[in-house]
Amino acid sequence: MDDKLNFQELDEILEKYRYDSTQIIPILQDTQAKYRYLPKEAFTYLSEKLGMTVAKIYSVATFYENFSLQPKGKYVIRSCDGTACHVRKSLPILERMRSELGLSATKVTTDDLMFTVETVSCFGACGFGPVITVNDEVYPTMTPEKASELLVKLRGEF
Amino acid sequence: MALTRDDLKNLVMTYKKSLDAQKKKIFVCAGTGCVAVGSLHIYDEFIRLMKEKEISCEVKLEREPHDDSVGIKKSGCHGFCEMGPMVRIEPEGWMYIKVTPKDCAEIIEKSVAANQFIERLGYQKEGQVYPTQEEIPFYKHQTRLVLEHCGRMDATSIGEYLALGGYAAFEKALFDMSPDEVVAEIVASNLRGRGGGGFLAGRKWTQVRQQKEPIKYIVCNGDEGDPGAFMDGSIMEGDPHRMLEGMMIASIACGASEGYIYVRAEYPLSVSRLGMAISQARECGLLGKNILGSGHDFDIKICKGAGAFVCGEGSALTASIEGKRGMPRVKPPRTVEHGLFGKPTVLNNVETFANVPLIIQNGAKWYKSIGPEKSPGTKTFALTGNIGNTGLIEVPMGMTLRQVIFDIGGGISGGADFKAVQIGGPSGGCLTKDQLDLPLDFDSLKKAGAMIGSGGLVVMDENTCMVEVARFFMNFTKNESCGKCVPCREGTKRMLEILERIVAGQGEIEDLDMMLDLADTIKATALCGLGKTATSPVVGTIKNFRQEYEAHILEKRCPANVCQKLKRITIDKELCHGCSKCANSCPVGAITGKIKEPFVIDIEK
C-alpha cells in the first residue's frame, strides 16, 4: 500500500468527531479502519488539526493494543488465547500458523503483507473454542489441521 | 414517536397486539457463538422458504398487527452455546439444536404448519428426548431473570422489548417515584456490583446523589476483558434495552443527564446492537431532552475500547473515555466524587444495570427473597473449559459449585476427572474438589480466597497443568499491566520469569517462597485492583496444588503431561501392535516388550 495519505478522508473523520481532541481514540480507530494501521503522516496531520502534540497522540496510539504503527496484512488472523480456548488447546493452532507463515511472537506480519497473526484474549465465543478470527469473521472449533487448510484457502483467494 | 406518557402507553399496546398476533414465532440465535457457526444462514433460509411457500411472515414487529403470521427473529444468546446453532419455536417452547439450513424446510413443514415436534433435532441425553427448552437439564436448574429475554426476543427491536413489559420500570421511576425513593429501593435491595468487587450499588448511587456538583455522569462498564467470560457481551447483544433502562433509572436517581457505555472493541456485535437500541430509544422519546414530558434529560453515548484490559478499572476507564492513556490513578478521590471529566460518576457494569429494572418493577423485598440476604439476586456465569455443556447460565446466588458444574454443566467432558475450576478470571482463584460444595456468593468465595469476579467459570479436568495455568494468567497480567506502578510492572514480570523457569524444568524449591513473598509485596503496594489481584492465581495454585509445583521442580515431571519441556513419551497400549520397530531403533534400549503385544518404555533409562 502506498504511504501517501488522502487528507480528505482524514478530514471527514475529524469532521465526524467535530475536531474534539477528547475523541482521539475513536478518531484513531476510524483512521486505522481506513489504512489497516496508523501511518506516520497521520500523526502530524491530526496534531495540527486537533491542537494536540504529536507526542500526546503517539502516547495514546502506543498504549492501546488495537492500534498498530506497522502495516498489517490483508488477512488479520487473531488466535484466541482466552482461558477457555487455552484449556482446549489453542496454542498448537497458533504455533502451526506461525510456523507455516514464518512468523513469530515478534514478527507478526508476512513480508508480502498477506497475513498478520496475533493473539487476543477472548472473543466471547467460548462455547466453540478454540476459535480464531480472520478479519473479524469467527472460525469455530479450530484444530491445527483446519488452520492449515484455511491458510491454503486464503492464499488461493488472494 | 412517543412524546408523553400516554403516547408511550399506546405504543406499548399496539406493539403488544402485533406480537400477540404472531401465532408462531421462530427464534434463531444470533449471539456471537451461534453466528460463528452459521446461524445467520439459517435465518436467511427461513425467510427465503417462507417467501417461496407464500407463508405470511414478519421479520419486523409492525405497528399494525397482521393476523396469524409467523414471526422470524434474530434473538440474543440462548446460552446453550455448545449445542448451537439453536432455534426456538414458540408458543410451544421447542428447542432445536445444531440446526443447519437443510433442516429449515422440515421445521416449517412440521413445526410451523403442522404443530409437530421434530425429534431428531431436539436435545437428547441417554436416550431421552427433551422437546422444550425448560425441560432440558441445562435450563431446568437455572433461574433466568436478567437473561429472561435473551433468546426469547428479537434483540434488535424496541417494539418487542416494550411489548414484553420493557421500560415499564423506567416509566415508574420517572413518574411515580421520587429520585430519593429510587435510590432507597436500590439501597434496600442490597444489589451488589456484578463487575467483580461486589460493592453495594445503592451506596454508590447514594454517594453520587449527595454530591453538590450539577453535572454528573452514568457510565456503564462493558469492557469485559476477563478471558473466558462473555456474560456482559451476551446481555449487550441479546437484550440491550434492559441495560439501557437500568442506566436511565440511574440517571433519574442521581440527577445525571449524560451517560456513556464503554464497550470493548472485540465485541463488534454488542457495539452495533447497542447503537441500534440507543437510536430506537431516542426515536421513542425515551432518551433525549424532556423525556416523555417529565422534564428529565438523559442521553447515552457509546465509547469503543481499544484493547486494554486495565480499562475495566474505574479510573482507567474514565481516562480512556476522556481520550487519554487508560491508566488508573491513586484513590481517593473515588469515581463517585471525581469520575468522568472530574465529575461525580456512577460506574456500574452491564449486569448490575440490567438488574435495576427488575428491582424497581418488583421491589427490593422481592429481590432479596432470591439468594442469600447479603448477596441477593442471581448471577450470570460463563461456563467454559472442559465441561459438557458450555454456555451462559444464570443461577440464584448461593448455589453450590457442584450443582453448577454437574447439574447444569453436565459434568466434565470427555470422561476425565474434575480437577479445578478457575473463577473470577486473572484476579480470581482456583477452587478444588474439596470446595465443590461452596455456595457461590460474594462473601463465601472471598473467604475461600477466590472471587466471583465478572463471572467466568473455567472448568479444568485432570489433563490440565495447574502450574501452566498460573503461568498463563501471569503472562496475561504481565502483558496487560499498564506499567504505571513498579510493583505491577516489574513484579508480574519477575513472577512470570520464575513460572517460565518452573514449567521448563529449571525451577528451584526456593522459588515457591520467593513467589509468595513477591505476591505479598505486589498485593500490598500496587496502585490498582489489577495489580493487587494479579498474583491470586499463583498464590491459589501454590496453596491448593503445591505438589504439582514440587513435581515440576524436584522430579522434573509434569503430572498432567502438559509442559512441553517436561513431556514424557509413552506408548499407547490400545494402538501398539507390537511390531518392535521402536525397540530396534531406540539408541538407549529403553523400549522392551514381546512381539504382537504392547511395548513399554522405561523412562529411567
**What number is the average pLDDT over the span A82-94?**
87
B473 to A129, B156, B503, B516: CA distances (angstroms)? 18, 36, 14, 16
Which chain B residues contact residue A65 at CB under 8 A? 306-308
Q: DSSP secondary-structure letter at B145?
A: S
> Is A82's CB within 8 Å of B391's CB?
no
**Bond into B332 cis (ω within 30):** yes
Which chain B residues contact residue A59 at CB under 8 A? 325
Q: What is the Cα–Cα distance from B279 to B285, expressed in whole angstroms?
A: 10
Pairing of strands A75-80, A115-120: parallel
B284: cell is 421513542
pLDDT at A4: 61
Residue B235's closest chain A neighbor by CA? A124
**Digit-coded pLDDT (tens) for B206-230:** 999 999 999 999 999 999 888 888 8
Which chain A residues contact residue B464 at CB under 8 A? 87
Statement: residue A124 has pLDDT above 80? no
**Digit-coded pLDDT (tens) for B252-277:** 999 999 999 999 988 889 999 999 99
Is the torsion defined by CA of A59, A63, A64, A65 positive or negative?
positive
Which chain B residues contact residue A123 at CB under 8 A? 32, 266
Beta-bridged to residue B200, according to DSSP, are B192
Nearest CB to B306; choose among A29, A84, A86: A29
Residues in chain B with pLDDT values less than 70: 1-2
Q: CB–CB of B130/B108 below 8 Å?
A: no
Report the percent of chain B where pLDDT is more than 90: 75
Q: CB–CB of B78/B239 below 8 Å?
A: no
Assign residue B151 a region (left: φ > 0; alpha: ψ between -120 and 50; beta: otherwise). Answer: left
State the pLDDT confidence band at A2, using cuts at 50, 70 and 90.
very low
* B329-365 b/e (C-beta count within 10 Å ≥ 16 → b): eeeeeebbbbbbeebbbbbbbbbbbbbbbbbbbeebe
Q: What is the Cα–Cα distance from B442 to B191, expressed in whole angstroms?
A: 11
Q: What is the Cα–Cα distance from A139 to A154, expressed in whole angstroms?
A: 13
pTM: 0.92
Other Cβ atoms within 10 Å of B566 Cβ, number: 20
Q: CB–CB of A76/B265 below 8 Å?
A: no
**Digit-coded pLDDT (tens) for A22-81:** 999 999 999 999 888 999 999 999 999 999 999 999 999 999 999 999 999 999 999 998
Which chain A residues contact residue B477 at CB under 8 A? none
Q: What is the Cα–Cα distance from B280 to A92, expressed in whole angstroms?
A: 45
> Is A63's CB within 8 Å of B82's CB?
no
Residue B477's closest chain A neighbor by CA? A121
pLDDT at B248: 98
Task: Tell which A residues from 73 to 132 touch B, by Cβ distance under 8 Å.
Answer: 81-84, 86-88, 120-129, 131
Q: What is the Cα–Cα distance from B527 to A40, expressed in whole angstroms?
A: 33
Which chain A residues contact residue B36 at CB under 8 A? 125, 128, 131, 138-140
**φ and ψ at B29, to 5 degrees?**
-65, 125
> Is B307's CB within 8 Å of A65's CB?
yes
Statement: residue A1 has pLDDT above 60? no
What distance separates the 2 farthest-apart alpha carbons in chain B?
90
**Digit-coded pLDDT (tens) for B339-392:** 999 999 999 999 999 999 999 999 999 999 999 999 999 999 999 888 989 889
Q: What is the Cα–Cα distance from B15 to B20, expressed in whole angstroms?
A: 8
Assign residue A45 a region (left: φ > 0; alpha: ψ between -120 and 50; beta: otherwise). Answer: alpha
pLDDT at B578: 85
A130: cell is 478454540
- Three-state DSSP class for residue B60: coil
Residue B325's closest chain A neighbor by CA? A60
Min Cα separation A72/chain B (Å):
16
Min Cα separation A63/chain B (Å):
6
B590 class by beta-carbon count within 10 Å (0-12 exposed, 13-18 middle, 19+ buried): middle
Task: Output the average pLDDT for chain B.
Answer: 92
Q: What angle do CA B94, B98, B101 make, to 5 degrees?
A: 95
Position with higher pLDDT, B266 vs A2: B266
pLDDT at A112: 93
Task: Output the average pLDDT for chain A.
Answer: 90
> Is B482's CB within 8 Å of A63's CB?
yes
Nearest CB to A66; choose among B307, B309, B323: B307
Statement: residue A106 has pLDDT above 80? yes
Q: Which of B37, B83, B310 to mutate to test the interface with A (most CBs of A within 10 A)?
A: B37
